[in-house]
Amino acid sequence: MNSNFFIVFLLALFILLIKYYTPKIKGLIGENKVSKALKRLNKEKYIVLNNIELNIKGSTSQIDHIIVSDYGIFVIETKNYKGWILGYENDKFWTQAIYKYRRKFYNPVLQNQGHIYALKHVLRNYKYLRYYSIVAFTKRATLKTKTYTDVVYINRLVKTIKKYDSFYINERTKSEIVALILTAKTNGRNKDKKLQTNYNINKNIVCPNCGGNLIERSGKYGSFLGCSNYPGCKYTRNKKQ
């Protein structure tokens, strides 16, 4: 009797473990496929950061992929679901349909908006950055969605990214942004001392809005740092920052 109970217990435990870990494993597989696809991007124009976890005001935001590029910041949410995927831009939940099986899951477009909010908090001194939200599904899914946000298959991901081709961020500002993100991440601190050193040197001399030089100016309330591209750029900062 005790032996039978032990076998049943082990079987139940095994089933619970499978139910718990299977979604995580599938998620990792999807993220790995996206990581491989993003390797096709030009490394001089696109800096890819994978699995970035940020803690903002007590809430954790796990971002699958961030791309800091010449053209803006791409934030990518990966889904490795199968079956029909049905949903609209502003629906709170989308539906996964496999024959008669139906399952609700949180709208990944809204989920990615939360990720962008967290990232904007980290990069709050860079007011005029452009953020592009992309949701990428593996080919296991059949997309039946209607959205303004890019919701694409992974094999279309690189092409989707490249359609945004207006030059926007210079090389120096890109390095600063990457260093800030790596410093803010909570799942493993940044070990790249060179990147961090470059950021500490540059943050006091580079305008985060346009990449121009910050120079000392005098005003009604004393000295401050202002952008050399004034009046085109009106960024200012206290000298003590």
pTM score of the predicted model: 0.70
Q: What is the mean pLDDT of the chain?
A: 81
Across 103-117, 154-168, 198-212, least confident range: 198-212
- Pairing label, strands 46-56, 141-146: unpaired
pLDDT at 212: 63
The pLDDT value given to residue 128: 86
Domains in the chain: boundaries? 7-190, 202-240
20 residue type, one letter? Y
DSSP string covering 115-175? HHHHHHHHTTT-TT--EEEEEEE-TTEEEEEE-SSEEEEGGGHHHHHHT-------HHHHH
pLDDT tens digits for 40-64?
999 889 999 999 999 988 888 999 9
138-148: average pLDDT: 95
Q: Could you tell me which residue, 211 or 156, shows the higher pLDDT? A: 156
Position 3 confidence tier, pLDDT thresholds 50, 70, 90: low
What is the spatial distance between Cα 130 and Cα 72, in angstroms, rounded to a whole number?
5
Of 157-161, 165-169, 210-214, 215-219, which gets the smallest average pLDDT? 210-214
Greater model confidence, 217 or 95: 95
Query: In the structure encoding, which two tokens stand for residue 194, read together?
Result: 């060179």
Among all chains, which residue has been given the structure tokens 């005001």? Answer: 57
What's the pLDDT score for residue 7? 64
Contacts by 195-204 with C-beta closer than 8 Å and gap 24+? 199/175, 202/172, 202/175, 202/176, 203/176
Percentage of residues in the chain having pLDDT higher than 90: 48
Residues 6 or more apart whose CB falls under 8 angstroms from that of 123 comprise 73, 129, 177, 180, 181
Tens digit of each residue's pLDDT (9 = 90 or more) over 176-214: 899 889 988 887 654 444 444 444 444 555 676 665 666
pLDDT for 35: 83
Mean pLDDT, range 62-68, rounded to an integer: 95
